[in-house]
Structure 1
Amino acid sequence: MTDPISRRTLFEMTVAGASAAAMASSATAQSAQRPAASSQSWTTYPEGEKVGYAIVGLGKLALEEIIPAFKHARGSKLAAVVSGDPAKARRVAAENGLPASAVYSYADYERMANDPRIQVVYIVLPNSMHAEYTIRALKAGKHVLCEKPMATTIADGEAMIAAAKQANRKLMIAYRCHYEPLNLEVMRRVRAGSIGKPRMVVTNMGRQADPNTPWDSWRLDMGMSGGGALADMGVYGINAARYLLNEEPTEVTAWSYTDRSDPRFKTTEDLIAWQFRFPSGAIANGSTSFAYSATVSFQVIGETGRLVADPGAFYGGNRLTVEGQPGERNPQIVEIDQFAREMDWMSDVVRGKAPMVAPGEEGLQDLRLMKAIMDSAARGGAPIRTDWGYRRPVDPAAVVDVPRRA
């Protein structure tokens, strides 16, 4: 069995300023406009007290982002690697100072049940493999951090949640933006009413997919991805609309357009646009595509101002523009290693020192919304009710903090 590619590559884009030094936090006057996080701090733990992680899948995301992030993690450490490519696994382990006993294959995956070095298993596999390897890790007695989307079907998502409950272990979905400084800044400004009542959210998340690269070939396969661009990029916009407004949509209408002569789109749709209606009266317009110019932007339009994040979901270099409000137009946002912060949050959840911000139910809500979007688009834009009773258990804006310096 060859090594599965990582769950996603967040686009091969150049980010202006992404390598710049960490920036100072927002000005004092602007900070006064929003509530401060009431959370646990980003604590640094001694090496012996760090939570050990097994990384499952050594593709692009794992090798280029997640494993390097352990160098910046304050409470988490790399404890093991899992791959179907023995040579690659041994090389990665050696490069990171891991012993041979910390190298696992998919065949001996359950051996980790007897490995006290591993407390959390981080699933970084193609979407169709998330459920199997999450459930196997939970049965082995390990907590799980799983990349998004959590699965390719609602049934698989429900099975993952049930397995976590049965094993009495934590299941967290890797919604990186819940812990990212710019997104938290926008959430807090919206909560504080700095732009008046929010009326509209607009999210556009997409890029040009390249079927000749291994990380895109499976994303263009419906069976493996569960939704093409919608599952890869669109999930950012779906989740963002919900956490920016801190409410759940009650109805969705969606449309799609796919050029079937494009060999990339044999089994998945390309351009999908949708509209969510929220109980407050706010509306969210979203789009995603694997065939338009690369963008990961969003904006929140209120009665008295506008918050524009462009880019708003990169691994670094995100930029906020404030319009219609007094004060700094482009507030400086602290830069952090987003994967390190996400893993450290999971580690504190395991320690019982932080609330679970993104449980399996959060991922399941997005799976249901993605299906509703696809169903509406298949019916030519027929409206579909989406008020299934889910309510976010914890508001990231109220609990997640970031350091003043990276």
Structure 2
Amino acid sequence: MKKYFLGAFTLISCACSSAKAQDNHPLSVALAGLNHDHVYLMMQHYKKGDVNLVGIAEPNKELVAKFEKNFHIPDSLFYPDLKTLLAHKKPEVVMAFDPINEHIDVVKTCAPLHVNVMVEKPLATTVKDAETIAALAKRYNIQVLTDYETEWYATNQDVYKQVKANAIGNVVKMIAHDGHQGPKEIGCSSYFLDWLTDPVKNGAGALNDFGCYGANLFTWLMDNQMPVSVSAVTHQIKPDVYPKVDDDATILLEYPQATGIIEASWNWPFGIKDWEVFGKTGYLQAVNGNTLRTRNDHTDYQIRQLPAPAAPYQDYVPYVTAVLRGEINPGDDLSSLKNNVIVVKILNAAKESAKTGKKVLLK
């Protein structure tokens, strides 16, 4: 009996060790598109062996040749489209680095095959597409996550924790500044610019490209509460450079007890992604990814440098891996589907307000 018990224990131990080893294998990833410049972070993970890249769907032969040469990707990994790729490979997740209006097509292809999806921000260009994506994710029980650079800022995570701990009292105002000199001015690739400056493929200009960051953070801090109303003003400061879309947007969100202001631009002298939160007794500013500026009603400003975020919040690869391995639940995280459907509703209301000059009421 003792011998049998030891044998059974050994089998169970081996099975547990095998399962743990399996959980530790690199995330199996397929890419949908290469024309979004944010794909270069994924290429760094590929070079380091952090992911198992099983396939890339990219029809542009020029782009394929570029990535084959620069990152030593074998020709056998490339497919002309996502449907063909998924007929041959079954990744854990498809990560989309393509125009925003094509995210809906990626999800429509992946969902019936029970393949999870991650897209670059924002989730979609229209409310209809965002709601369809959410319905497909629910129907086929898959994860659809949205990546934001600012999700991996230690300062943003700290601001959220302090607010939820009532460190600054009830929130009364939030301000997000997100912008840079302009995508052309900072050297974005022609492949990226072709759709980033297209009103259909990107849904707007700076309003979508940078306005989504503030909408995402505010929705997170407000526990997925929809704003009561949205007002927006947009400009074309450089119509010769960006003739089809706005290059500057200011968006005002009204909540029952707070106000949110989003400033998004392709016209600033330098890049900035910061977030200010005013409470009744204090103030928090995520100046950048690791610099936090604070003040309360009885002290002067203080500045702290924060360490890198704890795992798995360093960037989207460890985060998506943790979600898909069941280590964390995205819940109401910045990447979550619930948050990002609301973000699309805010952005579309902002576009309507900018077009009509009227405040848009949201239910």
Q: Do they fold alike, i.e. is TM over 0.5? A: yes
Which piece of structure 1 moves more, 363-372 or 250-259? 250-259
1:68 aligns with 2:44: yes
Q: What is residue 351 of structure 2 aligned with on the other side?
A: 374
By how many angstroms is 1:67 displaced? 2.1
User: SS of 2:327's equivalent?
Assistant: coil
| Aligned-pair CA distance for 1:97 | 6.8
CA gap 1:330/1:348 in 2 versus in 1, 3 angstroms: same
Within the candidate set 83, 86, 101, 1:109 is matched to 83
Higher alpha-carbon Rg: 2
- Report what 2:293 is aligned to: 321
Counterpart of 1:355 in structure 2 is 329
- Separation in structure 2 between the aligned mates of residue 249 and residue 257 of structure 1, nearest angstrom: 22
Are 2:55 and 1:83 equivalent residues in the alignment?
no
| Alpha-carbon distance between aligned partners in 1 of 2:282 and 2:64, rounded to the nearest angstrom | 51
Task: Give the whole-Å Cα distance in 2 for the aligned partners of 1:338 and 1:234.
Answer: 26
Which SS does the other structure have where 1:145 is aligned?
A: strand
Structure 1 residues 362 and 139, CA, compared in 2 at 3 Å: closer, same or farther?
A: same
The DSSP-based 3-state class of the residue aligned with 2:145 is strand
Q: Counterpart amino acid of 2:263?
A: S
Decide whether the 8 Å contact of 2:313 with 2:319 is kept in 1. no
> Is 1:300 aligned to 2:300, yes or no?
no
Deviations 1:335-388 (A, max 9, x none): 3699863222222222222112333332221111111112222232x332224x
In the TM superposition, 1:195-274 aligns within 5 A as 195-211=168-184, 213=188, 214=190, 215-259=192-236, 262-274=239-251
Contact kept? 2:145, 2:337, Cα under 8 Å: yes
2:52 & 2:314 partners in 1: Cα distance?
A: 10
Q: SS in structure 1 opposite 2:302?
A: coil
**Helix, strand or coil for the counterpart of 2:343?**
helix
The answer for the alignment partner of 2:119 in structure 1 is 146
Q: Which one of the candidate residues 137, 156, 173 is aligned to 2:129?
A: 156
Q: What is the Cα deviation at residue 298 of structure 1?
A: 1.6
- Give the match's secondary structure for 2:174: strand
Deviation at 1:178, TM superposition (A): 3.4
Partner SS for 1:276:
strand
- Distance in 2, matches of 1:217 and 1:85, equals 13
One-letter amino acid matched to 2:114: G
Q: Say whether the 8 Å CA contact 2:57–2:85 is kept in structure 1.
A: no
Letter in 2 for 1:237: G
Q: Considering only aligned residues, what root-mean-square deviation do their CA atoms show, in Å? A: 3.1
Name the aligned partner's letter for residue 285 of structure 1: I
Q: Do 2:251 and 2:350's aligned partners in 1 also have CA atoms closer than 8 Å?
A: yes
Give 1:144's aligned amino acid. Answer: V
C-alpha displacement at 1:121, in angstroms? 0.4
TM-score, with length taken from structure 2? 0.80
Q: 1:165 aligns with which of 123, 127, 138?
A: 138
After TM superposition, give the deviation of residue 84 of structure 1 in Å.
2.1
- The equivalent position to 1:125 in structure 2, one of 78, 92, 98, is 98
Contact 2:250 2:262 in 1 (8 A): yes
Give how far 1:157 is off.
1.6
Could you tell me how far 1:95 is from its partner in structure 2? 6.5
Structure 2 equivalent of residue 189 of structure 1 = 162
Identity %: 20
Q: CA separation in 2, counterparts of 1:224 and 1:339? A: 29
How many pairs does the alignment contain?
334
Tell me, in whole angstroms, the C-alpha distance in 1 between the residues paired with 2:337 and 2:308. Answer: 27
Equivalent residues of 1:205, 1:297 under 8 A apart? yes
> Which structure shows the higher helix fraction?
2
Q: Which runs of 5 or more structure 1 residues have no equivalent in the other structure?
A: 1-43, 313-317, 388-406
Q: CA deviation at 1:185?
A: 0.6
Identify if the C-alpha distance between structure 1 residues 211 and 271 changes in structure 2 by more than 3 Å, giving closer, same or farther. Answer: same
**8 Å CA contact retained: 1:56, 1:123:** yes
Aligned mates of 1:320, 1:45 — CA distance in 2: 38
Amino acid at match of 1:334: P
Residues of 2 paired with 1:166 and 1:322: CA distance? 44
Query: What are the superposed Cα offsets for residues 142-194 of structure 1, whole Å, 9 maximum, x if unpaired?
Result: 11111111111111222222332333322112234334321111100111121
* Of 129-138 and 326-335, the range deviating more from structure 2: 326-335
In the superposition, the TM-score normalised over structure 1's length comes to: 0.72
Q: Distance in 1 between matches of 2:62 and 2:199?
A: 30
CA gap 1:73/1:176 in 2 versus in 1, 3 angstroms:
farther
1:10 corresponds to: none
Q: Tell me how far apart the structure 2 counterparts of residues 226 and 200 of structure 1 sit (CA, whole Å).
A: 27
Mean Cα deviation higher: 240-249 or 358-367: 240-249
The answer to whether the Cα contact below 8 Å between 1:204 and 1:296 also exists between their aligned partners in 2 is yes
The 3-state SS of whatever aligns with 1:222 is coil
Distance, in Å, in 1 between the alignment partners of 2:145 and 2:292 is 28
